[in-house]
Amino acid sequence: GTVTWGLFLQEENSPKMRVIRVGTRKSQLARIQTDSVVATLKALYPGLQFEISEFSGKELFLVRQIGEKSLFTKELEHALEKNEVDLVVHSLKDLPTVLPPGFTIGAICKRENPHDAVVFHPKFVGKTLETLPEKSVVGTSSLRRAAQLQRKFSHLEFRSIRGNLNTRLRKLDEQQEFSAIILATAGLQRMGWHNRVGQILHPEECMYAVGQGALGVEVRAKDQDILDLVGVLHDPETLLRCIAERAFLRHLEGGCSVPVAVHTAMKDGQLYLTGGVWSLDGSDSIQDTMQATIHVPAQHEDGPEDDPQLVGITARNIPRGPQLAAQNLGISLANLLLSKGAKNILDVARQLNDAH
């Protein structure tokens, strides 16, 4: 049934509608993602008004070295902290597994296709990575993608490419440097660029990033009203898969600076988690798969009142048992990989990457 929260019900003649303020990055994709979440909320809460503010990341451009993604995250978190906005929509893969105190992920929306896609230069349309000519240059800014693909497609050269989706596609099409670039399928689909997807990479070729393809809604951890408001957006299966993935990454102490990748599936009450770590050039890798019995729960009204965060996520309307089981699965797989020598691979990758 529909849920109505007392707080958001106004008397008939009350002129003041509660306004929910939403923060977003100033990029076309970020805006599309934010608009889609706001549209869902509007349909659920017709009595509410939503106001979207765009943040450019400019205020913080001095701190260039913390990386563009975390830069935007920091500016948006600053606005949340100062109570200028009530919620922020992110790509879940951009949100660290440990959030700063005072913040939580209050909703994880239903995941789109989490796999990576290959977009080819117009002259190579119809090709695959396999059939690209020897020494073709493929653009990707992700160590995770480069490590896995170098190992698999040794005839290709992988080079860094920067910028947002529009910029990367323009570089691909207008300059002759790249034969193809690798991007997240979900982003291309959200932008309406389905026709540019030349190849979707399967887990055997390239496993995806933790949380890839899902959107996360970040809120103030103590703002119970907003937590209740966005909590209905939780997709139980996506939530459990992403808890397992994030717990795996957190326990490995991986981050953006090392190649860590995952693949999850939910089937007949079993959650399957495959995870791997790679050296930067992909020559060294450790991968394994584990499973746990977890039945995808229906949402229910009230959860526990203790601190409910798991890997930065609050989901009080989803039963606690399955969430803990998903977290334990992630931790167990991380421990298995660590016992097989994953720490050494990650340490070397981190040192090499920091030296650049």
Kindly give, in sequence order, each residue whose CB lies less than 8 Å from that of residue 67, ignoring residues fewer than 6 positions away: 256
Find the length of the chain.
356
For residue 110, give the 3-state DSSP assignment.
coil
Cα–Cα distance measured from residue 311 to residue 323, given in angstroms and rounded to the nearest whole number? 10
Q: Which of the residues are catalytic?
A: 94
The DSSP element (H or E) to which 332 belongs, if any, is: helix 320-339
Q: In this structure, what token pair is assigned to residue 82?
A: 């100062």
Residue with tokens 């990457």: 353
> What amino acid occupies position 311?
V
For residue 135, give the 3-state DSSP assignment.
coil
First to last CA, the chain: 54
Strand residue runs (E) in 121-258: 137-139, 157-159, 180-184, 199-200, 215-220
Kindly give, in sequence order, each residue whose CB lies less than 8 Å from that of residue 296, ignoring residues fewer than 6 positions away: 236, 237, 240, 266, 269, 322
For residue 348, give the 3-state DSSP assignment.
helix
- Closest-CA residue to 144 (of 51, 310, 280): 280
Residue with tokens 């896995």: 148
